[in-house]
Structure 1
Amino acid sequence: MRLTVSGRGLRPLVSGFVLLLLLAACASLPGATVQQPVQSPNDDYDYRYLTLANDMQVLLISDPGAPKAAAALDVQVGSGDNPPGREGLAHFLEHMLFLGTDKYPDAAEYEQFITEHGGSRNAYTSFEHTNYFFDIQAEHLPEALDRFAQFFIAPRFDAQYVEREKNAVEAEFQMGLTSDPRRGLDVLQELINPEHPFHQFTVGSLETLADRTGSTIRDELLTFYERHYSANMMRLVVFGAQSLDELEALVAPVFEQVPNKDFEPDPIEAPLFPEQSLPMLVKIQPQATLRQLEVSFPVADYRSDYKVNPLAYLGNLVGHEGKGSLLSQLKAEGLAESLGAGSGLGWRGGALFSVSITLTEAGAERYERVLQLLFSYLDMLREQGPQQWLYEEQSRLAELEFRFHEDSTPMNYVSSLASGMHYYEPVDTLRGPYLMSRYDRQMLNELLGDVAPGNALVVFSDDSVETDQVSEFYGVPYARQQVAGEQLARWTAPVRHAELDLPPPNEFIPDDVSLVPLADEAVSLPTLLLDETRLSVWFAQDHEFRIPKGATYINFRSPEVGQNVQQTAAALLYTALLKDAVNEFSYPALLAGLNFELYKHAQGISLRISGYNDKQIRLLDRLLEVIQQPDFDPERFANIRADRIRSLANAIAKRPSSQVMDDLREALLHGEWGEQPLIDALAELELADLEAYATAFWAGATAETLVFGNYEPSVVPALAQRLRELLPTDGAAPTLPPLRVTRLAEDEALQFVVDVPHDDSVVAWYLQGRDQSWHDRAATALTGQIIKSGFFQQLRTEQQLGYVVSAFPWPQLDVPGLVLLIQSPNTSAVDVVAAMESFMAAVSGSLDQSQFERHRAALVGEILRPDKNLWERAEFYWQSIAKKQYQFDGRRQLVAAVSALSREQWNDYYDEVFLRRRQSLQVVAPGRWQAVPDGYGPRLHDAADIKQTNPAFLID
């Protein structure tokens, strides 16, 4: 797998091609320079690229039918620009901009306005960027934009919120203390050249943000803002239902008020690592049970060479998982489970190319053999040299991806575009991430020359390593040594008995991307075309998105899933083994835009194939062949079982609030078990047991299938015949036990006390709706909409109880429920619950009629939000079929129930169900206080006890 970093996350790095300009330049306001980006033939939005009079670059996107509008502004400033000794200042500034401006001084006003009008907002700070974004009901974009613009025109930085919000940054820092990625980054930053800005701690803490003699943190915030937040360093993207001319008239007058200080960032001339410090070996003791080898190479900054995109070429090869790949050889030797490769960090002047390998136990013991294989693979790439045919194959795949561009959510789209605008020419704003149109052999050779052993930082993480240092901020034990002589010779010794080679031509690249004729324009909902004892097939053609792709989803149900922990463990391991068995031939399909998923669910195993429909049958045949006649290797069985056990054991390294939510889910859903019971069951499973389980599973299996997309009805009989070969041919289908959700009685309170190894206290308070009726679902969902903004504002911004503070509806298998969730580094669970109680008691009295109507309209708009792409539509159909909602009208019924609620009816429901006669399950992790609130029912310490002593909702 090849990965690259964009903003906060990792995503596949792809390539692209050149298209004709599709739109002519449009009229524009005086003072703005207009350019037109190239767009995909499958993209029906209208675009306009502007440079405002203050040098801010703006991309406008018009979609007249859009129910949601969105905007994002990316400032090319981040944690790498923190002043020396003020770690976390850029991140802290990001927090502060949400808390009041001169025009809108109320710190709660922006959050409240966005939420009441069906929207959401967030931001992130990376090394070079700070990215702010929101979405909202389309008709309220003008007012939202005016509020948003004030962040960059006249923020207040009120002293009281400066003091309070430092606690939120501290809470975020404390929350990450058990996160191995953050802990590893802390070690990396200590190793980096102190003259390089990436050497600095990035998150910030109460210590780094404290006032100092002669300098308050507020003064330094103002100085930092005045220096860096300049219009010429900003990129703005606005997506709305208005025309381009209307959007420009809306945006330009407001955002031209942002001052242009003609700021230019200082060049980063210092090398990332001190001279002569590489190659280096670093050993880290992880928090989780982690066995990982990460090898990073400082390389040039290729972002201006995005049309060549050399890092994509190299990442695709090193991260390949097919025959002849590095990962294939590592698996064959029992040394690794997974591998990722790509650009993990970039800055003005350089980048890191990184290879991350998850090791088996044997791989950890023989990590030098893993290094030998990696360096041998890179040697092979250098010896064979850049391959133009491989480059052109990658380019062709990216050309297809851009040609058949699919819509995403507006907020994600604008955020990504705003970040990319700093690096792409205006004409390439949309296609830039896909471009790979200029083969440059010399540039590729230069990159291959840099990924050499003498230029490597090797980080080995395993709990067995010996250490002699501790990192400053996260307290990570580690050791480092420079590598030379005999040790380096071992790493670079020629390998034997290894089959390393370039990947063969990709057989799954689609040749036919034509659209099938529509059989009947009037019929677009799925129709049951086949209904047999053990097999049913629903079919629908896609009438709206019209791309040469489709989704074939198959749900194999069996009574051999979910009835006990042994079944669950066996189903988890069985699907993992099947995925491993098909990975080598299915990985090229993934690269070619043909995806498959195989996973356990509550009643069976699901197989999903999606993407270009041209080669789907070829992939399906090979998958079904393996499922019918698996030949599991005993060594792979042992390694995969160990990997599953390790993943479960690593739950202790998850965010504490996530662990508590997992405990809540286990207490509610019958058929779910905690980590330790699953670990015990997996440890007892042998290969013979698993093979016997697979036989039993298929003996009782039935298959329900959805075929949706660019298909003709004639595919159904052929698909059905293939599936019949997996299913029993005689006898009635077995009756499946119903799904069950723990049912709390009226006025019943339970308290589930869980052990989470972290200093923070965590409370997840679950309040169950009264029943499963549409009225109950509507009233509970509306309650979540009404309280989420105020809950965050009061308990996080005002009271600073923690970084994780949220209230949200949380239906489980259509049983409605509400969750209040807080993870606090500074407040006991007793006081957290008291704060929750005070907030809930005040909700209905503070809600006037106009606010109620806005919240109701916002929820209706969200439920009716049109599907953005083929996959969202397929998921809706698939979930409807699973719930036996064969009229596919669940959204309409929920909207009708929400619309029917008056303020008085909702208030009565809220008062009765969520205040006076609650159905309450409170999950509490006491943290360092070891204090649990009194008066919330009997205290239980095992999810199984909750499920055994309470009745259940039965879900057919």
Structure 2
Amino acid sequence: MLSIAFSLVACATLRAPGVVPQQSPNDDYQYRLVELDNQMQVLLISDPDTPKAAAALDVLVGSGDNPEGRAGLAHFLEHMLFLGTDKYPEPAEYEEYITEHGGSRNAYTSFEHTNYFFDVNADHLPEALDRFAQFFIAPRFDAQYVEREMNAVQAEYQMGLKSDPRRGLDVLQEVMNPEHPFSQFSVGSLETLADRPDAPIRDDLLRFYQKHYSANAMRLVVMGKQSLNELQDLVTPIFSEVPNRDYQAQEIEVPLFSEGSLPLLVKVKPQATLRQLEISFPVPDYRQRYQAQPLSYLGNLVGHEGEGSLLSQLKTEGLAESLSAGSGLAWRGGALFSLNVALTERGVQDYDRVLQLVFAYLDMLREEGPQQWLYEEQSQLSALRFRFKEAREPINYVSAVANRMHYYAMQDVLQGPYLMTDYDPALLQDLLANVVAENAVVTLHDQSVQTNQLSQYYEVPYAKHKLELEQLNASRSSTVEADLHLPAPNDFIAEDVSLVKLDKPVPATPQPFVQGARQTLWFLQDDEFRLPKGATYVNFRSPLVGQTAQQSAAAGLYTAMLKDAVNEFAYPALLAGLNFDLYKHAQGISLRISGYNDRQALLLERLLAAVQAPEFEQARFMNIRADMIRGLQNSVAKRPSSQVIDRLREALLYGEWGEQALIEALQDMTLPELERYAAEFWSTATAESLIYGNYSRSVVDEVAASVGVLLSDKPAPALPALQVLRLAEGESLQYAVEVPHDDSVIAWYLQGNGDTWRDRAATALSAQVIKSGFFQQLRTEQQLGYVVAAIPWSQLDVPGLLLLIQSSNTSAPEVASAIDQFMKAVPAVISAEQFERHQKALLHDITRPDKNLWERAEFFWQSIAKKQYDFAGRERLAAAVEELSLEDWQAYYQQVFLDQPHSLQVVAPGRWQSLPAVAVEPLRDAADIKQGHAVYTVQ
């Protein structure tokens, strides 16, 4: 049994006072692994400089452990643990403490795991940790919140009814072996969680908790500024109280698919215009062999995008747009190796040909056999990633490590995901023997498929058939295989990882080294993080972007064509840790290159050469255009709250266009028109660049010369300013939008009084003050919906608040009334002590140091884009926050957000088809809102 095997390894090691796991040379944290008397395994992380402390506890129990007839129980239990304990009985206590001290908290339930995590300003770790620990010592499971939180689970279930990923999973679970735990519905609903005469849900909840929530099945990670000894003294007495019930997870011996059911073909009718082919193969559970990483080796080859790859051939034949491959699902006893292929229209019609190519590629891998040189190349890249591993957000880091502690020997909990040192050709051959057509589950998603069944929980139309192999096998000929081959050696792997000599002195901020009519270039060496990496960002601006929907569509399609044209040669760079992106923005097109600087010059040279002389093919143009149109059409399948926020953004930002306008522009566009647009774009373009990282001064001239080749030597045309809708004092607009979903949604935008630093500070502080109570009152207490959030929502530095609720049980007028009542009550309930805590929390967040080189690069780049050339935006905002007294804030909040609000309410009425009452006629189009309206101009 996997879990027992790892437990034996770990326990034998951890009886010492503490174990230090193998860590990256670039990681300056201190670590210690200890085992408490109750057999809970704990990783302590000390970082004296961390502004945020964090903790995560992962329980080896998930939806796969739900008792029969109680689908969703593990997920429901995760919800309930947040709602009061014997020591801290108030359900809002944990949430309020974390929020008031600059933190956040969350949890997730997967098939095998339930993972709880939080962060908090570092000084407040002891108190936060004590509240957190009580979840696992003495939760209350108050009966009143049992009923209320069932409604939250129901809302989460209903929110996913039109989500194609969840709908696809529902079908997959239905065609699985019903005796396998993964076949169970995992989210839960009012029906599955309802009281029964012989089994009230609270009793089942308690039984499940008392069986599975055992210290020996838990892994805890705590990160703080305290020393390791101090952390151990803090953690030990608290978490030693967690009961050890000696729970042992059992191996799942039944197969995922019933004997004789494979190969299987499933056809699914999606909600969106989704054209997708999934090919999955049940394989053994290789997690014990993490030093060999057989699934990573295979996924790297099947998912390769370079010359000779499966995707290259699919694109050549016009069958597919993208492909991914790897292990997505694993359980104690097995796993799935899966390919996901995004099909073209032709690919849907000829999906048999796609399957022929997939199986032919796998045949080729079997014939070639395991390749040690390819394995060693992947191993080299993994070792580089671990050697130069960078700091992550503490909350994400502790959550990930707590999860992996169940699967790696204790000395490997940090380096385990990066280990690839055990080349085992027999193991790889065993894996390849499992990925054969006879063992495949093929799922075709397309609206044209014929179906004859509905899935139980999401009512998805589908059909299942035996996959006929005779025709597929007949067509896997040598002609097909001749076009498929192993990738060439990767030319982009960094060899020189030395650090450049620093200039003396190194400035604190980037300096403009090139300043011309058409080109500006900022440069700064990194003297803090000292990695053999760097970021080169280039922003090409033109007046021919964003003024019309046609321009926006053309710029987006042009960048997509360029990315497609360079993909085959750039993909190996991506594998080698050289990231690049090319994307449209409000004023032009941006190119970003980041990663190891050793091969950046080669990549930049080849990318710019492709930009200078692209060779676009009509067939690729047609497929990429169709893919973009399909993506825009699929906006109706997004979460309703996301669709409403998109409409809000369109109403506020000039240069933003709705999906339908962009679809129409794309449908009318031809390749010659796109090429003419590209020529006009470059004739009017200017460039602003940032080079930051491990670079010598000479790189400035090289990049400037390369970029300059793309630019005209004629005078640069004027660039239109960016504009944001300016709501007047007391102006209250309502924008009614149609979203094809039963839920009601309100996105209530309250703009600040202006765009001064004081306005930004007061608005950000308002968001900090209200966000915890907004969630607690409107979600936990009133159960208005699953999506409930109050967040700061600045647009181009124009400050604003966003109050968002998506409700499956309450009409939009009632939701709006509840929001209004909450907002009016805020000033009176905030004490001076609470205000001070919120103010400190916000200041802490604003002044938090950058964790890594990329965060620093992003700050510099955004400052340059905003023309904040002294790079002092954080200091100015922090000073403005610090200057606000409680009385100042109350007066601002009362005047700007209550008495004379600058208000835009975007509403999707859902099945109730009713809107909140407003003084003016609701608007139905974003263009009508912006027409002739006052604006903020952003240069």
Shift of 1:522: 4.6
Give the secondary structure class of the aligned counterpart of 1:178: coil
* Partner of residue 335, structure 1: 319
* Partner of residue 580, structure 2: 596
Q: Say whether residues 1:859 and 2:842 are aligned partners.
A: yes
Shift of 1:482: 1.3
Which of the numbers 515, 521, 526 marks the counterpart of 1:537? 521
Question: What per-residue deviation string (whole Å, max 9, x for no partner) do you get for residues 881-910 of structure 1?
Answer: 000100000000000000000000000000
Q: Say whether residues 1:812 and 2:803 are aligned partners.
A: no
Shift of 1:489: 3.6
Letter in 2 for 1:241: K
Give the secondary structure class of the aligned counterpart of 1:251: helix
Rounded Cα–Cα distance in structure 1 between residues aligned with 2:516 and 2:461:
61
Which of the numbers 646, 658, 668 marks the counterpart of 2:630? 646
Shift of 1:484: 3.8
**Is the contact made by 2:121 and 2:844 (CA closer than 8 Å) also made in structure 1?**
yes
Which of the numbers 418, 436, 441 marks the counterpart of 1:434? 418
Letter in 2 for 1:826: N
Rounded Cα–Cα distance in structure 2 between residues aligned with 1:239 and 1:111:
19
Give the secondary structure class of the aligned counterpart of 1:777: helix
Rounded Cα–Cα distance in structure 2 between residues aligned with 1:333 and 1:606:
30
Q: Say whether residues 1:781 and 2:796 are aligned partners.
A: no
Shift of 1:314: 0.1
Q: Say whether residues 1:901 and 2:884 are aligned partners.
A: yes
* Partner of residue 418, structure 1: 402
* Partner of residue 135, structure 2: 151
* Partner of residue 821, structure 2: 838
Q: Say whether residues 1:947 and 2:927 are aligned partners.
A: no
* Partner of residue 700, structure 1: 684
Question: What per-residue deviation string (whole Å, max 9, x for no partner) do you get for residues 425-477 of structure 1?
Answer: 01001000101010000000000000000000000011110000000000000
Shift of 1:267: 1.8
Bigger drift between 497-506 and 694-703 goes to 497-506
**Is the contact made by 2:355 and 2:472 (CA closer than 8 Å) also made in structure 1?**
no
Shift of 1:781: 0.3
Shift of 1:490: 5.0
Decide whether aligned partners of structure 1 residues 83 and 936 sit closer, same or farther in structure 2, where only a CA change above 3 A counts.
farther
**Within-5 A mapping of 1:2-17:** none
Letter in 2 for 1:745: A
* Partner of residue 3, structure 1: none
**Is the contact made by 1:329 and 1:498 (CA closer than 8 Å) also made in structure 2?**
no
Which of the numbers 896, 900, 911 marks the counterpart of 2:894? 911
**Within-5 A mapping of 1:411-490:** 411-484=395-468, 486-487=470-471, 489-490=473-474
* Partner of residue 888, structure 1: 871
* Partner of residue 401, structure 1: 385
Shift of 1:488: 5.0
Rounded Cα–Cα distance in structure 1 between residues aligned with 2:41 and 2:309:
43
* Partner of residue 877, structure 1: 860
Shift of 1:308: 0.3
**Is the contact made by 2:506 and 2:527 (CA closer than 8 Å) also made in structure 1?**
no
Q: Say whether residues 1:262 and 2:246 are aligned partners.
A: yes
Question: What per-residue deviation string (whole Å, max 9, x for no partner) do you get for residues 37-79 of structure 1?
Answer: 0001000000001111110000000000111000000000000
**Within-5 A mapping of 1:187-266:** 187-266=171-250
Decide whether aligned partners of structure 1 residues 512 and 936 sit closer, same or farther in structure 2, where only a CA change above 3 A counts.
farther
Letter in 2 for 1:899: E
**Is the contact made by 1:372 and 1:493 (CA closer than 8 Å) also made in structure 2?**
no
**Is the contact made by 2:357 and 2:480 (CA closer than 8 Å) also made in structure 1?**
no
**Is the contact made by 1:101 and 1:156 (CA closer than 8 Å) also made in structure 2?**
yes
**Is the contact made by 1:761 and 1:825 (CA closer than 8 Å) also made in structure 2?**
yes
Shift of 1:33: 4.5
Q: TM-score scaled to structure 2, two decimals?
A: 0.98
Shift of 1:523: 1.5
Question: What per-residue deviation string (whole Å, max 9, x for no partner) do you get for residues 737-791 of structure 1?
Answer: 1000001111001100000000000000000001000000000000000000000
Letter in 2 for 1:800: Q
Which of the numbers 703, 706, 717 marks the counterpart of 1:734? 717
**Is the contact made by 1:371 and 1:491 (CA closer than 8 Å) also made in structure 2?**
no
Letter in 1 for 2:310: L
**Is the contact made by 1:521 and 1:543 (CA closer than 8 Å) also made in structure 2?**
no
Give the secondary structure class of the aligned counterpart of 1:35: coil
Q: Say whether residues 1:848 and 2:831 are aligned partners.
A: yes
Question: What per-residue deviation string (whole Å, max 9, x for no partner) do you get for residues 550-586 of structure 1?
Answer: 0000000000101011000000000000000000000
**Is the contact made by 1:559 and 1:737 (CA closer than 8 Å) also made in structure 2?**
yes
Which of the numbers 159, 162, 170 marks the counterpart of 2:154? 170
Rounded Cα–Cα distance in structure 1 between residues aligned with 2:444 and 2:102:
46
Shift of 1:379: 0.1
**Is the contact made by 1:373 and 1:495 (CA closer than 8 Å) also made in structure 2?**
no
Give the secondary structure class of the aligned counterpart of 1:805: strand
**Is the contact made by 1:779 and 1:906 (CA closer than 8 Å) also made in structure 2?**
yes
**Is the contact made by 2:356 and 2:472 (CA closer than 8 Å) also made in structure 1?**
no
* Partner of residue 807, structure 2: 824
**Is the contact made by 1:742 and 1:951 (CA closer than 8 Å) also made in structure 2?**
yes
Rounded Cα–Cα distance in structure 1 between residues aligned with 2:400 and 2:467:
40
**Is the contact made by 2:509 and 2:524 (CA closer than 8 Å) also made in structure 1?**
yes
Shift of 1:628: 0.3
Decide whether aligned partners of structure 1 residues 222 and 723 sit closer, same or farther in structure 2, where only a CA change above 3 A counts.
same
Rounded Cα–Cα distance in structure 2 between residues aligned with 1:486 and 1:449:
19
**Is the contact made by 2:499 and 2:694 (CA closer than 8 Å) also made in structure 1?**
yes
Which of the numbers 491, 494, 508 marks the counterpart of 1:510? 494
Give the secondary structure class of the aligned counterpart of 1:554: strand
Rounded Cα–Cα distance in structure 1 between residues aligned with 2:601 and 2:286:
39
**Is the contact made by 2:100 and 2:841 (CA closer than 8 Å) also made in structure 1?**
yes
Shift of 1:521: 4.0
Shift of 1:34: 1.6
Q: Percent identity?
A: 67
Give the secondary structure class of the aligned counterpart of 1:408: coil
**Is the contact made by 1:748 and 1:937 (CA closer than 8 Å) also made in structure 2?**
no
Number of aligned residues: 928
Shift of 1:494: 5.6
* Partner of residue 17, structure 1: none
Rounded Cα–Cα distance in structure 1 between residues aligned with 2:389 and 2:453:
49
Unmatched runs of 5 consecutive residues or more in structure 2 = 1-12
Rounded Cα–Cα distance in structure 2 between residues aligned with 1:884 and 1:489:
62
Unmatched runs of 5 consecutive residues or more in structure 1 = 1-25
Rounded Cα–Cα distance in structure 2 between residues aligned with 1:496 and 1:782:
62
Question: What per-residue deviation string (whole Å, max 9, x for no partner) do you get for residues 474-515 of structure 1?
Answer: 000000011246345457566537510000000000110000
Rounded Cα–Cα distance in structure 1 between residues aligned with 2:103 and 2:253:
42
Which of the numbers 904, 921, 925 marks the counterpart of 2:908? 925
Question: What per-residue deviation string (whole Å, max 9, x for no partner) do you get for residues 162-183 of structure 1?
Answer: 0000000000000001110000
* Partner of residue 733, structure 2: 750
Bigger drift between 491-500 and 389-398 goes to 491-500
* Partner of residue 796, structure 1: 779
Which of the numbers 734, 754, 757 marks the counterpart of 1:771? 754
* Partner of residue 11, structure 1: none
**Is the contact made by 1:524 and 1:541 (CA closer than 8 Å) also made in structure 2?**
no
**Is the contact made by 2:514 and 2:521 (CA closer than 8 Å) also made in structure 1?**
yes
Shift of 1:951: 1.2
**Is the contact made by 1:33 and 1:52 (CA closer than 8 Å) also made in structure 2?**
no
Letter in 1 for 2:621: F
**Is the contact made by 1:922 and 1:936 (CA closer than 8 Å) also made in structure 2?**
no
Rounded Cα–Cα distance in structure 2 between residues aligned with 1:707 and 1:546:
15
* Partner of residue 18, structure 1: none
Rounded Cα–Cα distance in structure 1 between residues aligned with 2:921 and 2:792:
25
* Partner of residue 576, structure 1: 560
Q: TM-score scaled to structure 1, two decimals?
A: 0.96
Decide whether aligned partners of structure 1 residues 258 and 495 sit closer, same or farther in structure 2, where only a CA change above 3 A counts.
farther
Rounded Cα–Cα distance in structure 1 between residues aligned with 2:157 and 2:879:
44
Give the secondary structure class of the aligned counterpart of 1:454: helix
**Is the contact made by 2:451 and 2:461 (CA closer than 8 Å) also made in structure 1?**
yes
Runs of 4+ in 1 over 4 A off after TM superposition: 490-495
Give the secondary structure class of the aligned counterpart of 2:18: strand
* Partner of residue 260, structure 2: 276
**Within-5 A mapping of 1:28-427:** 33-427=17-411
